[in-house]
Structure 1
């Protein structure tokens, strides 16, 4: 029933949107757009969206509804394997529709007939972000379909569900939210909301396929939807404000589609509230009736979430008012204007907000403090130093995200290098001292037989995964930590990444994640998958130091990095194009950036070395105390072991003499 309602309603709305848009003045360069190409493009986007929902829903039935059976690895039963087969069929449809959409999207985006795009598809692939995104989607969907027949454990199902959810992002962040003034804020809002909406939609659809979902399963879904609404509703309002660009919200066409999307989320919040009351009352009298109401609201949620997904299809065929607003080069690349040159006051003044990192930082601090609070309520202690380290690490990222440091990081190489070093070398060194995984595993208990597998089970499954043992190998992490500098800045990749906000954010996430993994091996409180002795850790740090120094020297002596990108910004306070001092100005900035990379790269490693030596000393002290206690209690077995070794040598010598016939 939800599928039919969502599909028919979206199809009708899509036909109306295409018809309405055909009667509006076309965008510049789209005067000769082919109506048939536009209609087929809309139909393919509809198929892609609902095939993606079907894939996630089938995987969610396996992952989110799984209950513990015994203590060993959670191998899937026949029912779960049947659901994976359903997911495979959906993934194949997802792949086929996305692959077919590649030439049609290229043609529709460029305002030409699909036949023209097919004849020059390579050129369109290189020039159009959304076309590349759909090709990536098709490839990932094909990989999912190819892997699913071989899945036998719940752990692998969790990984594939995460992939299916995250692959929703590329077509979104390269579409409407990526164009014009303030696109940085809109893109961040879409990055935060899209995966949550994809997972919540799949979960709601999955629950409608179960005749009588139990209370614990309904409560799990209810919590997921609550988090989704907390993020998606304000994000949808922000994106709507960006897309309308000052136009009335109730204007026909795009304005109406935004209002409908927001209204659907508001209705979803109302359904969530009704279910919250029903689940609370179900704990007392009238359990059956209240759970029945909770199940009914879940069906309503599935319909509303499918319609929310349908609005994205409808909006993809409408021209947002933002597209008609002229933009400057800075707004095109950054999303905002930077009229003044940076100064040292920028270190303390508020600036352009990095919405994604700000929200993630505050969420990480809040979740950690909540975990500490729950632990202490149970009567368990947690070191205050670890809490302080975690808060300090994420507050460092928060500070960068709201100050002018971030604002100028996209306009000047030296300020960018400050952000890079803070994200990669500074903040992660504090975070690993907080032991977040240890805290999580202590706060959240493992599921008992018959219970839904918990967050702790998910974390344990991930830590025991073979892929993590390979990717988490200290040598692999070291190569990523050191090699990322050279691969990004000395290959021309940097200039390409900086042109797109989503790619810039992906680069920031990479900095933080790789820095965290590196320091986790060296001084982390959480035990890594492959622990190494302290002497090896010291060598691990010392081996990285010269490579950081070589990188800084390479930056100081190389040609201008990202010259085309910085020239394209057209900054009034840094003339480049047509100015005799332009290239030298960029080179001077790069010299400063290289010096910052040298200093800010070596100092954190020196500090980490001191922390490692302190941990080494503390470890030896603890070992000595354990030995002293064992000796005092009469449990020192070292002398016994030595005597046993001598006796074994004597026995072997006697056997040798007997075989040789000597007396």
Structure 2
């Protein structure tokens, strides 16, 4: 096989790279979106004048158009930041050559990397202005007030400061403005990652305003909307940003498009799954597909299928052609992307038209809601039995998608190792599979269903997340597998300082924050102390009343349990592990603290979050305080078996380590015995 050599930078413009081609095609995306939303709103009649307090045609037609522009600009911001975080090649002249670079590999050009941050900054500025206009028109539509009325400004301020919908839209404007400032000043993948996280906060806020916000399926609708928005934003926005930057990519166009293709594949899956769930929530029966709303939903699904097909062709043909081209040829990039952008714009417009139209299933809450519905937002589940713990479901699409995706990724990594002849213990694969299945059930099954209305069930969910799932994660060694299976970025482009998944994992593991959190003492204090801080502060109530708070609880305690277990028996890199006697001492001290926490709950007489658990009006089960005391017994009892398992694992590791040291001493003394030699030397010195 011949060794690849670095290609020279062309001095003439690359074939197919006409100036302004990218912006013109991105305008096609915007134009198709505007046309689609106008046609969709006209088709569903969402812009028909209201009989009472009509805000006027400018508001009726302007609101869906500005919402479309807001979503597209937000998508470009998110997509451009995704490119900066882990897609575009980057040159860092001050850094040492990257380890793992192939001899003779082409060098990264890296000229598009700073430009993508500028694209993100300017798009964020336009996103902020569009979000302001969307806020103003939203209030005008809700209140039925014309923009020219004298008191409109004062009323708008009350809407932003006192009404939940107004506060959400106003906070989205603030987030967009902060993202604008950050995107214009950050220069590194780490800065781009923090800016991207902030932009996703704005998408989460928008997800709160979707259909079914007042219905019993609010949590599922919100998580489905968030997954849908993030998937669509990354898919559409990253492609639009690539279209704007393709003239600057040069020889980096092939690896950039190939990396984007992998990201787009996951986005297709996220958009498809969340779209099916959202459609199921909003359509009461198959016959509703014949309504105007249902017809638009079918059109959107058909366009998504077309997009997925174009993306598959792009992956199979365009990427191979770009790799084989002797010089950069952006014209190959435009073979399908031009059509793709137009179809993406049409999908965005149809989506906004759907959001502006009333679905067949109304969003209104029940006329006579139960006491439990008024407190929790959903009716009480039936009385728990052993069977119902496995048959009752309260779906969280975000966690369900994460668990399934984690399974798929782990299995693919194992298969990649097998294809190149490397072995991976099947026991670790089995441990990961069991851990993800348990995580899926804990966040979507019986513990999630009853954990929202029973403290004891909530404690079951908490203890499984903190003490059962992490043990399976540690036994599966996911970080070790990732470092073996994922490719090094510099193996394809020399001097490429961008970060792929492998580089990001190493960055997190070796960062100051990562090393601090993974330290055995810190991990033990976090594992035990955060439980007290969580339940005896407002964090517990926040996790009950907010989907964000619930997600924080799941992620934090699963991660805390993993870090603690990994410091004791794990093989993944990260912590400077203590000696085995100190590990056992840390384990038993931490578990003793756990036991004291459970005893405090068992003997306590003050009800935690009394205006939640004490007001549900349950016709079955023990009283709220008795159920809380049962929860303390659960915290005490469930912790015993994982503690025993960890203690046995530490003891076995200690024994195996002693055996390894004995074998090393045997090998070292096979030909000579240092201790015997020292003894003989001492006798000789005495005789002399």
TM bin, normalised by shorter chain, reads 0.7 to 0.9
**Is the alpha carbon distance of 1:381 and 1:428 closer, same or farther for their aligned partners in structure 2, counting shifts above 3 Å?**
same
Deviation at 1:131, TM superposition (A): 4.2
CA gap 1:285/1:208 in 2 versus in 1, 3 angstroms: closer
Cα distance per residue 1:107-128 (max 9 Å; x no partner)? 756777663241364332xxx2
Q: Distance in 2 between matches of 1:75 and 1:374?
A: 26
Does 1:388 find its partner at 2:430?
yes
Tell me: higher relative CO, structure 1 or 2? Use CA pairs within 8 A at least 6 residues apart: 2
Q: Does the aligned pair in 2 maintain the 1:347–1:403 contact within 8 Å?
A: yes
Q: For residues 21 and 193 of structure 1, do their structure 2 counterparts lie closer, same or farther at Cα, with a shift above 3 Å needed?
A: closer
Where 1:179 maps in the other structure, the secondary structure is coil
| 8 Å contact kept, 2:396–2:443 | yes
Q: Once the 2 structures are TM-superposed, how far is the Cα of residue 102 of structure 1 from its aligned partner?
A: 5.6
CA positional deviation for 1:527: 1.6
**Residue equivalent to 2:501:** 455
Residue 288 of structure 2: aligned partner: 248
Residue matched to 1:660: none
Give the Å deviation of 1:393: 1.6
- Which among 632, 635, 645 is matched to residue 597 of structure 1? 635
Q: Check whether the contact 1:169–1:191 (CA below 8 A) recurs between aligned residues.
A: yes
Shift of 1:570: 5.2
Instruction: Quote the offset at 1:496 in angstroms.
Output: 4.2
Give the gaps of 5 or more residues in structure 2: 1-23, 100-106, 146-151, 682-688
Map Cα deviations across residues 597-652 of structure 1 (whole Å, 9 max, x no partner): 22223442343233223323333433343344344466979999xx9xxxxxxxxx
Structure 1 distance, partners of 2:25, 2:677, is 74
- Please list, as runs of the form range in 1=range in 2, the aligned pairs for 1:189-588 lying within 5 A after superposition: 189-209=224-244, 210-211=246-247, 214-246=253-285, 248-252=288-292, 254-279=293-318, 282=321, 295-327=334-366, 328-329=369-370, 337-338=379-380, 340-349=382-391, 351-400=393-442, 403-447=445-489, 448=491, 450=493, 454-470=500-516, 472=518, 474=520, 477-501=523-547, 503-556=549-602, 557-566=604-613, 569=616, 571-573=618-620, 585-588=623-626
Q: CA deviation at 1:308?
A: 3.2
SS of the residue aligned with 1:3?
helix
Contact 1:48/1:94 (<8 A) preserved: yes
User: Per the alignment, do residues 490 and 619 of structure 1 end up closer, same or farther by CA in structure 2, a change over 3 Å counting?
Assistant: same
Partner residue in 2 for 1:54:
76
- How has the CA–CA distance of structure 1 residues 68 and 336 changed in structure 2, closer, same or farther, with 3 Å as cutoff? same
Q: Which string of whole-angstrom CA distances, capped at 9 and with x for unpartnered residues, describes residues 43-80 of structure 1?
A: 65344323322323433443412157763499996653
Distance 1:550 1:312 in 2: 53
Contact 2:76-2:238 within 8 A present in 1 as well: no
Normalised by the length of structure 2, the TM-score is 0.78
Contact persistence 2:519–2:567 (CA under 8 A): no
Q: 3-state DSSP class of the match of 1:180?
A: coil
| Structure 2 CA distance for partners of 1:323 and 1:610, relative to 1, 3 Å | same
Given that 2:373 and 2:380 are in contact with CA atoms closer than 8 Å, whether structure 1 keeps it comes out as no
8 Å CA contact retained: 2:235, 2:264: yes
Residue in structure 2 matched with residue 609 of structure 1 by the alignment: 647
Structure 1 residues 420 and 72: CA distance shift in structure 2, 3 A: same
The answer on 1:94 being equivalent to 2:127 is yes
Greater Cα shift, 512-521 or 394-403: 394-403
C-alpha displacement of 1:391:
1.9
Q: Could you give the per-residue CA deviations for residues 233-280 of structure 1, whole angstroms, max 9, x where no partner exists?
A: 23213212312444733433x445433432321220221233244248
Q: Cα–Cα, structure 1 residues 317 and 634, in superposed 2: closer, same or farther, change >3 Å?
A: farther
* Cα deviations by residue, 1:298-352 (Å, 9 ceiling, x for unpaired): 2322333344344444444334444455434567777765452112333454545
Q: Take 2:330 and 2:115, find their aligned partners in 1: how far apart are those partners?
A: 27
> 2:576 & 2:198 partners in 1: Cα distance?
25
Q: 1:449 to 1:296 in 2, by over 3 A?
A: closer
Residues 138 and 75 of structure 1, relative CA distance in 2, 3 Å threshold = farther
CA pair 198-378 structure 1, distance change in 2 beyond 3 A: same
Q: Does the CA contact (< 8 Å) of 1:53 and 1:198 recur in 2?
A: yes
Cα 1:376/1:17, change in 2 over 3 Å: closer
Which one of the candidate residues 34, 48, 52 is aligned to 1:23? 48
**CA offsets per residue over residues 516-575 of structure 1, 9 Å max, x none?**
23322332220215544445544443443344234334434153333333466555546x
* CA deviation after TM superposition for structure 1 residue 207, in Å: 2.3
TM superposition shift of 1:443 = 1.2
Evaluate the alpha carbon distance shift between residue 339 and residue 370 of structure 1 in structure 2; reply closer, same or farther with a 3 A threshold.
closer
The DSSP-based 3-state class of the residue aligned with 1:242 is helix
Partner of 2:97: 71
How many residue pairs get aligned? The number is: 623
Measured after TM superposition, the shift of residue 13 of structure 1 is: 4.8
Corresponding residue SS for 2:347: helix
Bigger mean CA offset, 625-634 vs 53-62? 625-634
- 1:108–1:114: 8 Å Cα contact kept in structure 2? no
Report the Cα offset of residue 470 of structure 1: 4.9
**Cα displacement (A) at 1:138:** 4.1
Q: 1:67 to 1:89 in 2, by over 3 A?
A: closer
SS at match of 2:387: helix
RMSD: 4.1
